[in-house]
Amino acid sequence: MKMKRTIPFIIIGMLSVLIGSCATIGHYMPLSPGETVIGTIQTSFVARDAWFSKNEIINTQAYIKLLEAAVKKYPGTIDVRDIVWVTGRVIENINVEVFATGIVIRLDRNER
């Protein structure tokens, strides 16, 4: 009899954990063969209005934020590839915390 009373609580607890820990993972702009890798970059930011939106919005925001950070760290003509991002907590019901990493490449092969 105690088992029948316990099962609903177990199910509710498991659902709460699953819903509370949901994270979206994205991969954007893969690295192409022959690109000159000069380093890595990482950042975190709040994706505005991203909770119910498509991944393209977070892809774009992650690229922009990573490129901004990369330009401050690496000289020359650079770009960011192989972007991987993970969403974190929801802020104000529609904004999402995002953690992103990327590989910095050199676009001008003559630069060193």
Domain limits, the chain: 23-106
Report the distance separating Cα 62 and Cα 70, nearest Å: 12
| 100 CB neighbour count, 10 Å cutoff | 25
Q: Is the pLDDT of residue 23 over 90?
A: no
Report the distance separating Cα 43 and Cα 67, nearest Å: 10
Q: What is the pLDDT of residue 57?
A: 85
**Residue 22 banded pLDDT, cuts 50, 70, 90:** low
Token digits for 85? 């991002």
Cross-strand partners of 84: 27, 101
Please report where in the chains the tokens 């192989």 appear, as a residue. Answer: 82
Q: Is the pLDDT of residue 61 over 70?
A: yes
